[in-house]
Amino acid sequence: EFSHPIIGSFFGTVGISIMLLSSVIGSYNSSAQLVVWCIGTLITLTLSVLMISRLLNGNAAPTSAVPAWLIGGVGSLDIVVTGGAFTASWTHEVNLLAAAIGSVSAIVFFILIFSRLIHHDPLGAAMRPSKMILMAPFAVGFIAYVNLAQKVDMFAALLFYFGLFLFAIILYRLLVKPAPFSATWWGIGFPMAAMTNAAFIYAGAVGGKGLGFIAALLLFVLTTSVIVLSFRTLHALLTGRLLSA
């Protein structure tokens, strides 16, 4: 699976998950948080090197450029999202390295994927929910940038609003033409969670009832989606359809 040009990208979620767990651990032990963050960072950067190096081998089919490719870039940005609070000079340099890798690779992959979606056949039904990942670089990029800059400025606002714009378009398309349920529907979870966090950060910095309502609405949509996906997954597992392939 790791060698697959599409499925292999999802291995990047391993490092992302470990880094997100480090944020939770930080509430109990800062030293353990740093250790877990370092492990997740090392895994994420290693996978980014391997995945990008593999693409540079050439002969990649244009149709293999799918939203899942962005996970490599988003994973590097998550290093900054989860490690931006560290004050050591070396962690700051690691965060800058990760921000550079994540932001530039996300831009390149986003353009390639957008071009593929426009000029080639539509994604298969099972892959349609993964379009939500297109929003992730802007939502995660917003949080990473705010962590580095320690402020919400004009550039951060542009990232946030374009991510919100993409979210509205993709959500509408998924609701109008929903794909049959499969495990790939879980791909909508982490980009929606990132967008929700970004909305609360932006609303907290800028203020206003409208922004607060948008953040609360995103949280409601995210929570509802996770609940529905959990029940649908459990039902599919108990009826023998989830693992039938």
Tens digits of per-residue pLDDT, 87-118?
889 999 999 999 999 999 999 999 999 998 89
Look up residue 185 and give its DSSP letter: G
- Specify burial of residue 78 (Cβ count, 10 A radius: 0-12, 13-18, 19+): buried
Confidence of residue 37 (pLDDT cuts 50, 70, 90): very high
| Of the listed ranges 31-40, 45-54, 129-138, the one predicted with least confidence | 45-54
Listed ranges 66-70, 125-129, 175-179, 213-217; the one with the highest mean pLDDT: 213-217
C-alpha distances (whole Å) from 7 to each of 34, 51, 77, 167, 228 are 30, 11, 20, 23, 24
In 99-132, which positions are buried (b, 16+ CB within 10 angstroms) versus exposed (e)? bebbbebbeebbebbeebbeeeeebeeebbbbbb
Tokens matching residue 164? 């919100």
Query: Could you tell me if 216 and 223 are in contact, meaning their C-beta atoms sit under 8 angstroms apart?
Result: no
Query: Could you tell me if 163 and 216 are in contact, meaning their C-beta atoms sit under 8 angstroms apart?
Result: no
pLDDT at 245 over 70: no
CA distance 115 to 60: 15
CA distance 161 to 73: 20
Query: Could you tell me if 101 and 48 are in contact, meaning their C-beta atoms sit under 8 angstroms apart?
Result: yes
Place of tokens 């800028």: 206
Tokens matching residue 92? 């700051």
Q: pLDDT per residue over 194-233, tens digit each?
A: 999 999 999 999 988 999 999 999 999 999 999 999 999 9
pLDDT at residue 197, as a whole number: 96
- Specify burial of residue 150 (Cβ count, 10 A radius: 0-12, 13-18, 19+): exposed
| Beta-carbon-side half-sphere exposure of residue 20 (alpha carbons within 13 Å) | 15
pLDDT at residue 244, as a whole number: 65
Place of tokens 């699976």: 1
Tokens matching residue 196? 């929700």
- Specify burial of residue 196 (Cβ count, 10 A radius: 0-12, 13-18, 19+): buried
Tokens matching residue 210? 């409208």
48: left (phi over 0), alpha (psi -120 to 50) or beta: alpha
> What does the radius of gyration of the chain's CA atoms come to, in whole angstroms?
18
Amino acid at 225: S
